[in-house]
């Protein structure tokens, strides 16, 4: 998990980072990102995502309001 809470795997700070913001996962060479709730602003290549999204090489991941 990624977020601002203690105990998450990747701890980030900022006014728009939720305590449990999103999940990054890697399974069988496939990397995904999934926002954990509606206020978890997560973007892939500038597009806000609301569901699990597969990441590819050279994709840009933003975890905040842009």
Residue with tokens 């977020």: 3
β-strands 30-35, 22-27 pairing? antiparallel
How would residue 66 be classed by pLDDT, with cut points 50, 70 and 90? low
Q: What is the pLDDT of residues 26-51, one digit of tens each?
A: 999 999 999 999 999 999 999 999 99
Q: What is the pLDDT of residue 65?
A: 74
CA distance 30 to 65: 26
Residue 41: helix, strand or coil by DSSP?
coil
> Which residues, in sequence order, are bridge partners of residue 30?
27
Closest CA to 38 of 22, 59, 55, 54: 22
């Amino acid at each position: 998990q990624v977020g601002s809470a203690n105990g998450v795997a990747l701890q980030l700070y900022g006014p728009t980072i939720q305590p449990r913001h999103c999940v990054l996962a890697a399974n069988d060479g496939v990397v995904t990102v999934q926002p954990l709730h509606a206020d978890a602003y997560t973007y892939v290549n500038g597009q806000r995502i609301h569901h699990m999204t597969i990441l590819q090489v050279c994709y840009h991941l933003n975890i905040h309001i842009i």
